[in-house]
Amino acid sequence: MKIIMLGAPGAGKGTQAKKIAEKYGVPHISTGDIFRANIKNGTELGNKAKTYMDQGLLVPDELTVALVIDRIQGEDCKNGFVLDGFPRTIPQAEALDEALKGLGEAMDYAIDVDVPDENIINRMSGRRACLDCGATYHIVTIPTKVEGICDACGSKVVLREDDKPETVQKRLEVYHAQTQPLIDYYKGQNILKTVDGTQPMEAVFGAIVGILGA
């Protein structure tokens, strides 16, 4: 079962990807994790990626795809995997398809967790994070016991720069320009499935399980 998770930043696709991985016993693969693992292990691909990242540059598609393909050939991926945060663009999707074809494989599902921009802005601007221990909260759904104070370590919780409405708006604009075209791309391959991401987390997961099978 080879799955790609799609959805705007803040739609909750990372959470759902982890739940899918857990239920079906397949690895949850994010490009960030792949980069970190390869850099830590000092692999040739990792060292190449590091030269770009150290300069604050995006890792080129060709190298990103090579890292992903290397990862999905791991022993733990023999029953499938969940890709989270990749591909982000049509060229990446095409390169991934081409590489999989070379292995005699293809993606099975692209699941789009669909949430309107307005909901995402409201959802993310309510997030609060502890910069000391990394715990995260939400002023409506997961508030701290004492307002503004982390339950776990007692430090202050803050609205991160990434979660400010104007920053979220910019990230959504990039998403709509670069990543949303993937929805049509996978629709054209008849593997796109859309779930309503405005529902509670468990209901979204229930809808995904309904698509994938129990």
**What pLDDT tens digit does each residue of the chain (214 aa) get?**
999 999 998 899 989 999 999 999 999 998 888 988 899 999 999 999 999 888 888 788 889 999 999 999 999 999 999 999 899 899 999 999 998 999 899 999 999 999 999 999 998 999 999 989 989 899 988 999 999 999 999 999 999 888 899 999 998 998 898 888 999 999 999 999 999 999 999 999 999 999 999 7
**What's the pLDDT at 10?**
87
Is 40 among the catalytic positions?
A: no
| CA 142, chain centre distance (Å) | 21
What pLDDT, in 10s, does the model give residues 12-61?
998 999 999 999 999 999 888 898 889 999 999 999 999 988 888 878 88
From 50, 164, 171, 187, active-site residue: 171
Catalytic residue selected from 19, 88, 123, 128 = 88
**What is the model's pLDDT at position 120?**
94
Nearest to 38, CA basis, from 18, 24, 20, 52: 52
Does the active-site annotation cover 127? yes
Known catalytic membership, residue 160: yes
Indicate which residue of 19, 71, 127, 128 is catalytic.
127
Note the pLDDT of residue 134: 86
Which listed residue (160, 164, 187, 193) is catalytic?
160
Catalytic residue among 13, 19, 71, 123: 13
Tell me whether residue 123 is one of the annotated catalytic residues: no
In the chain, the domains with their CATH numbers are 2-117+178-212 (3.40.50.300)
Map the chain to HEC letters. Answer: CEEEEECCCCCCHHHHHHHHHHHHCCCEEEHHHHHHHHHHCCCHHHHHHHHHHCCCCCCCHHHHHHHHHHHHCCHHHCCCEEEECCCCCHHHHHHHHHHHHHCCCCCCEEEEEECCHHHHHHHHHCEEEECCCCCEEECCCECCCECCECCCCCCEEECCHHHCHHHHHHHHHHHHHHHCHHHHHHHHCCCEEEEECCCCHHHHHHHHHHHHCC
Catalytic annotation on 171? yes
pLDDT of residue 36: 87
Predicted confidence at residue 32, as pLDDT, reads 81
